[in-house]
A = this chain, B = another copy of it.
Amino acid sequence: MQTALATAGLAPVLATALLDRGVPRAAPPQPAAEARAGTRRTCAPDEEIFAEGDRAGTFYKVVSGVVRTYKLLSDGRRQIDAFHLPGDIFGVEAGGEHRFNAEAVTETRLVVHRREARALAGDDGLLAREVVAAMMRSLERAQDHMLLLGRKSAKERIATFLLCLSQRAGGAAVELPMSRTDMADHLGLTVESVSRAVTQLEREGLIELPPNRRAVVLRDPRALRRLAD
Contacts and interface: CB of A to CB of B under 8 A. Distances in A.
Interface string A140-153: 10111111011110
A187 interface: yes
Contact of A23 (B10, B95, B150): B95
Contact of A18 (B4, B79, B150): B4
A7 B18 contact: yes
A104 B77 CA distance: 35
B8 A21 contact: no
* Range of interface residues on A (Cβ < 8 Å): 35 or more
A36 B9 CA distance: 25
A17 B85 CA distance: 28
A94 B140 contact: yes
A200 interface: no
A38 interface: no
A79 B146 contact: yes
Given A150-B187, A187-B150, A143 B71 contact: yes
8 contacts: A1-B25, A3-B18, A4-B18, A11-B125, A15-B117, A18-B94, A81-B146, A150-B187
